Amino acid sequence: MMEEPETGLREIGCEQSLLSRPDGSATFVQGDTSVLVGVYGPAEIRFSREMLDKSTVEVMVRPKVGLPAIQEKNQEQLIRETCESVILGTLHPRTSITIVLQVINDGGSLLACFLNAACMGMMDAGLPMRSMFCGVTCTLNDDGLITIDPTTKEQKESRAVFTFAIESTEKKILTVSTRGAYSPAELQQCIAAAQLAAQNIFHFYRDSVKRRYSKS
């Protein structure tokens, strides 16, 4: 299923339950960027890694080719912090939840696509969450023009790049990744633009879930 929101987002698409081994899985597509996710758990965990009061969340990012590097480790940390902020981990203490993200193609806004895939994969796994979340990337050019869901070329030519993780109930910013030079006022403008785009992504989430369950 494909949908083209009217907030500068490229075409987005998602398919869930593609893989048999994980407890939840999904592909998420944004323009030429696509990601596959597998979610495992809640599952048993080694005693040395367990937490007494909540589940342990682990995120692994696998690049299209080669081994994970510093960029992937930074992405893993932001995705993990985002997931931990919405998962009701106290319901499953002393367990592990593992989210494995595989790059299929990177055409820009990859971190946002990771976040969107992770949320859809967690929903497919039936994990208890206090809210949904989505990722929105935007850029600023030298003239201060904001581009939502930029391509790789647009990111390279930009003055600043932001990726926001936004929760669905009050549209609050959960986590943010930034690069480049920008003013506080420009940051606020980008947050407002990202929150507007997030409404369309959440609409897509709900629509895709409704269609899936109406078929079953």
The domain locations on the chain are 2-215
State the pLDDT confidence band at 4, using cuts at 50, 70 and 90. Answer: very low
Averaged over 85-108, what is the pLDDT?
86
C-alpha distances (whole Å) from 198 to each of 22, 25, 89, 112, 167 are 27, 22, 25, 11, 9
Q: Provide the pairing of β-strand 146-148 with 96-105.
A: unpaired
Contacts of 74-79 with CB under 8 Å at 24 or more apart are 74/177, 75/110, 75/111, 75/114, 78/111, 78/163, 78/165, 78/175, 78/177, 79/111, 79/114, 79/115, 79/118
Least Cα distance to 51 among 92, 105, 10 occurs for 92
pLDDT in tens, 17-71: 888 888 999 999 999 999 999 999 776 666 666 666 677 889 999 999 888 888 9
Q: Is the pLDDT of residue 2 over 50?
A: no
> Please, which pLDDT band fits residue 114 given cuts at 50, 70 and 90?
very high
At residue 216, the pLDDT reads: 55
Question: Which CATH superfamily, name and number, covers 2-215?
Answer: GHMP Kinase, N-terminal domain (3.30.230.70)
Q: What pLDDT does 89 receive?
A: 74
Least confident of 5-9, 133-137, 156-160, 211-215: 5-9
Amino acid at residue number 154: E
Q: With 60 as the cut, is the pLDDT of residue 3 above it?
A: no
What pLDDT digit, counting tens, does each position of 140-197 carry? 999 989 999 999 999 999 999 999 999 999 999 999 999 999 999 999 999 999 999 9
